[in-house]
Amino acid sequence: MRPKILIARAIFPDVIERLSQVFEVESNQEDRVFSVTELRQKIADKDGLFITGSERLSAEVISAAPRLKAICNMAVGYNNIDVEAATGAGVMVTNTPDVLNATTADFAWALLMATARRITESEHWLRAGHWEKWTYDGLLGADIHDSTLGIIGMGRIGQAIARRSMGFDMQVIYHNRSRLSPEQEARANHARYVSKEDLLRQADHVVLVLPYSPQSHHTIGAAELALMKPSATLVNIARGGIVDDVALIAALKAHRIAAAGLDVFENEPAFHPDFLGLSNVVLTPHIGSASEPTRRAMANCAADNLIAALGGAVPPNLVNTSLRTGT
Ligand code: GLV
């Protein structure tokens, strides 16, 4: 009998076709968002799961799937999965690293540029019919070139963002759990390691690219925002919860910092409604990896992991590596 899998959300039909060659597939091309109860019911007889970052695989959900061997996330972040509970149940967890590095780094720049140069605010103003004449001080923004870029979270995406700053003649400072090697720092536009506080004080543009965990919860709150320059911008492409959104809204309202660019939010997609009333924030709906080739690569990467895991091999992107010996 072929292993049974659930593909929890709509994905590329050719990837479903690929998985159907080896598995008995239950798909969800109507893209319904399952409640916890529905998810528990649907996974009760499954050997493997293909999920996205939007599905919450808590210990309670995982416990409803006694046959489960693998949870394959179509995302690099996996804070939506209780990895400890999965490991305890002997369930492999995989993610999709690397394939999205360049696309996500490009997107960080798109958001940074839009935020610093007030692109979306300008467009709203123009569309609203306000453009009657040129003014010397209309919609002035911050410069990117020759400024200081501060990156918090200097993994593969952070380093790709830093490399892209070379063309803008920027200084790069970074903060990370661990320091890069001198060679990595040199490749990342000679990035300089500093404390989080020094980074916040010195950077003209702060970009957040760190994984979410209980330790990184509210890495940026009122105290951190108070350290930033009033002219600085803040970009979050990492995860909701890394920024205290209520504190950020207060700082943006008070012009404590100049502007923010946000692709991720606490409680997304039900983000804090006060963001909508602010002109100094650029808002996008968690689309950092959303280019056609990259989303395809992510879907195929998750499929590769699932095929390997249920085929008795070590999946290429195993997160809970302690299970490796058991496969
Ligand atoms: C997107 O947020 C991802 O983790 O891939």
Note the pTM of the prediction, 2 decimals.
0.96
CB 205 within 8 A of CB 174: no
The whole-angstrom separation of Cα 297 and Cα 279 is: 35
- 101-283 has the same fold as 4-97+292-325: yes
- Residue range 101-283 forms a domain whose CATH class is alpha beta
Q: Which residue's CA is the closest to the ligand 1 atom numbered 1?
A: 75
Domain boundaries of the chain, sorted by first residue: 4-97+292-325, 101-283
| Residue partners of 98: CB distance under 8 A and separation at least 6 | 156
Known active-site residue 268: yes
97 lines ligand 1 (CB under 6 A): no
Token output for 232? 């600085």
Known active-site residue 205: no
Mutation probe of ligand 1 site: the residue of 98, 100, 156 with most atoms within 8 A of C-beta: 100
Known active-site residue 239: yes
How big is the CA angle at 254 (ends 161 and 267), to the nearest 5 degrees? 60
Interhelix angle 119-127/101-116, rounded to 10 degrees, is: 60
Q: Which residue's CA is the closest to the ligand 1 atom numbered 5?
A: 75
Provide the 3-class DSSP secondary structure of residue 302: helix
Mutation probe of ligand 1 site: the residue of 111, 289, 291, 305 with most atoms within 8 A of C-beta: 289
75 lines ligand 1 (CB under 6 A): yes
289 lines ligand 1 (CB under 6 A): yes
Domain range 4-97+292-325, its CATH number among 3.40.630.10, 3.40.50.720, 3.10.105.10, 1.10.10.10: 3.40.50.720
Which residue among the candidates 286, 295, 296, 324 is catalytic per the annotation?
286
For the chain, 327 residues long, give each residue's pLDDT as a single digit of tens. Answer: 899 999 999 999 999 999 999 999 999 999 999 999 999 999 999 999 999 999 999 999 999 999 999 999 999 999 999 999 999 999 999 999 999 999 999 999 999 999 999 999 999 999 999 999 999 999 999 999 999 999 999 999 999 999 999 999 999 999 999 999 999 999 999 999 999 999 999 999 999 999 999 999 999 999 999 999 999 999 999 999 999 999 999 999 999 999 999 999 999 999 999 999 999 999 999 999 999 999 999 999 999 999 999 999 999 999 999 998 654
